[in-house]
A and B are shown apart, each in its own frame.
Chain A
């Protein structure tokens, strides 16, 4: 479950980053355990920021975020890192695969960072995940040798490696054609439902919303404010 209460976030850009100053407030936002939820809204409404706050890559100015009974706003940086590695799978718009690692190694990346579990078991799981998305024959290929749809499937497998209870996807279809968009959304929903993970996906594409359990409009979730005028 995701439970966000009385959350405030503000970022004051300085110098050339002044234009990127941003502030928002979320009074209450809840996603039930195992729900597949889409978050929609115009650019600049704070969707990605909210995802970052829930993942713990951004720090809230005030308020509380609870993910599966863990109050992540109370965690320090080290604990937040461990929380992300063990409980959160993330899929990014630009895939963010490492070009010098093979497909299998990219899926194993969270394990290279945390080192939990035996290498044989983790490797087997990575190969199973890749077989499941039709990339069993490309374990040793480099990301540059794959199509964009294939790269995003690898990114989904990487996010699923540690069997996360929370799957966050930030516009994962933003760089894909229509056919691949549907495939990736189907894959995310399938993986989340198969592993009882809670899925929160940010998207602009309303044609993909039909299969989600719930859809939140960011305009109703968060209220932006001008950080330059607010103390």
Chain B
């Protein structure tokens, strides 16, 4: 019967266009539901995994989802800001370790995350090259950022202006890369981490410039202790060892903004106590990220079920069309089968020939669907990141 298989294969190879369309249709019919299901399952696992190891997030009242996604993935719209005093107060409760998050700006397509060194311990992030950031204006970058932009420690990366139309806005800050993080397969691979004070400088809340008290400084007027600089005074756009002492903040840092605070209580009791503390706050909310994402996933799974149902109906229609194509093809090939029978082939041989063609088409389609599904699964996290960016 190998001859029948060969003839079946030759028929498909000769009618490449028709075979390709059939294979493409069946591949899509198999791939789409499988990929949808896998993508949702993997995304759900990845989403909940990061959320589950983040006990609590403190932020301004508003969208819980926006707060969680911004804190965990740094990509969603920035939630309403809270002030640094909130961090101080949360720390003062003694109920949890607190980690500031300032996630609002971007540097060459990567989110800039202002935080403290505790964040790296909390997420178990290790330095793969270089060293940890130590000075104002330094940063450590995620593995994907380093790979995408071809950056290594010692080089620099510049923050992007929030809007090109803001001509009165702050200058972009050129940050020195102190180190590159080891890849850990999360959103941290795609972020640029700076000290939260560096983030405030990017926001224009702190700056450095020439000392106007020294003779020869670009001063427009001096009166009653008030110095007005003239237009030639430029702010530093890069913090170096030489000018770092000139950097300063105006006002109290207690009022400076954060986008959220990660709170890590040592046990369930402290967790409950802390949640109780913020339960009735008018301006703040303390959310459990896992619960917020579970609510989101419940909706996603419901939508997924409808999508898969729709795809199943489409698949049935595709199967019907493919069956029709095969039947019409058999009708057109009656003469060919008659010739085979006249030469001496049995009806079983002709059946094997037809079955082999159908088998080859389904086998190739299934193989392609598996390959496409594996590729989709491999890139599932990147697809998820892209979706979260939208």
Contacts and interface: CB of A to CB of B under 8 A. Distances in A.
B15 A109 contact: no
A190 B154 CA distance: 89
Interface string A142-168: 000000000000000000000000000
Interface in B310-368: 335-336, 339-347, 349
A92 B349 CA distance: 21
A81 B344 contact: yes
**For chain A, which range describes its interface: under 10, 10 to 19, 20 to 34, or 35 or more residues?**
20 to 34
Nearest to A115: B3
Contacts of B7: 98, 101, 112
Interface stretch (A82-90, A180-188, A198-206): A82-90
A78 B335 CA distance: 20
Interface string A72-84: 0000011001111
A85 B13 CA distance: 26
B345 to A, nearest CB: 5
Nearest to A81: B344
B341 A57 contact: yes
Given A100-B11, A100-B15, A115-B2, A110 B344 contact: yes
Given A96-B335, A98-B336, A113 B11 contact: no
A105 B10 contact: yes
A90 B336 contact: no
A113 B6 CA distance: 10
Nearest to B346: A81
Contacts of A109: 340, 343
Residue among B6, B335, B339 with the highest chain A CB neighbour number at 10 A: B339
A76 B10 CA distance: 31
Given A98-B339, A100-B14, A112 B6 contact: yes
A96 B3 contact: no
B343 A113 contact: yes
A114 interface: yes
Contacts of A82: 344
Interface in B276-321: none
Contacts of B343: 84-85, 90, 109-110, 113
Interface string A99-130: 11100010001111111000000000000000
Interface residues of B, number: 22
Given A81-B345, A90-B343, A111 B10 contact: no
A113 B345 contact: yes
Contacts of B339: 92, 96, 98
Interface string B26-49: 000000000000000000000000
A55 interface: yes
Nearest to A102: B10
Given A84-B344, A85-B343, A113 B15 contact: no
A71 B7 CA distance: 32
Contacts of B13: 100
Given A96-B339, A98-B336, A98-B339, A113 B344 contact: yes
A78 B346 contact: yes
Contacts of B342: 55, 57, 84, 90, 92, 96
B120 to A, nearest CB: 64
A215 B15 CA distance: 44
A114 B346 contact: no
Contacts of B335: 96
Contacts of B3: 111-115
A100 B357 CA distance: 13
A109 B3 CA distance: 9
A86 B4 CA distance: 18
A111 B2 CA distance: 11
B7 to A, nearest CB: 6
Contacts of A113: 3, 340, 343-345, 349
A101 B3 CA distance: 13
A101 B15 CA distance: 11
B378 to A, nearest CB: 37
Contacts of B15: 100
B185 to A, nearest CB: 49
B346 A77 contact: yes
Contacts of B14: 99-100
B357 to A, nearest CB: 11
Interface in A24-83: 55, 57, 77-78, 81-83
A111 B15 CA distance: 23
Contacts of B340: 109, 113
B115 to A, nearest CB: 66
Nearest to B342: A57
Residue among A83, A111, A115 with the highest chain B CB neighbour number at 10 A: A115
A90 B10 CA distance: 23
Given A82-B344, A100-B10, 12 more contacts: A81-B345, A81-B346, A84-B344, A96-B335, A96-B342, A98-B7, A98-B339, A99-B14, A100-B13, A100-B15, A111-B3, A113-B349
16 contacts: A77-B347, A81-B344, A85-B344, A88-B344, A92-B339, A96-B335, A98-B7, A98-B339, A100-B15, A101-B7, A105-B10, A109-B340, A109-B343, A110-B343, A113-B343, A114-B344
Interface of B: 2-4, 6-7, 10-11, 13-15, 335-336, 339-347, 349
